[in-house]
Amino acid sequence: MDAKIQKRTENPHLQREEVECIIDFEGGTPKKDDIKALVAKTLTVNPDLLIINKMIQQFGSKQTKVVACVYKNAESLKRVQKETKEEKKEAKPSA
User: 29-46 burial by CB neighbour count: b if 16+ within 10 A, else e?
Assistant: ebeeeebbebbbeebebe
Cross-strand pairs, 65: 22, 56
Confidence of residue 17 (pLDDT cuts 50, 70, 90): very high
For the chain, the domain total comes to 1
Could you list the beta-strand ranges (E) of 1-95. 2-11, 16-24, 50-56, 63-71
User: Which band of pLDDT confidence, cut at 50, 70 and 90, is reported for residue 8?
Assistant: very high
Output phi, psi for 85, to 5 deg.
-60, -40
- In the chain, the N- to C-terminal Cα span, in Å, equals 43
Residue 18 has pLDDT above 80, yes or no: yes
pLDDT computed for residue 93 by the predictor:
66
**For the segment 37-71, what is each residue's pLDDT rounded down to a tens digit?**
999 999 888 888 899 999 998 888 889 999 999 99
Q: Rounded CA gap, 23 and 35, in Å?
A: 8
For residue 16, what are the domain limits? 2-91
Q: Could you tell me the CATH number of the domain that includes residue 61?
A: 3.30.70.330
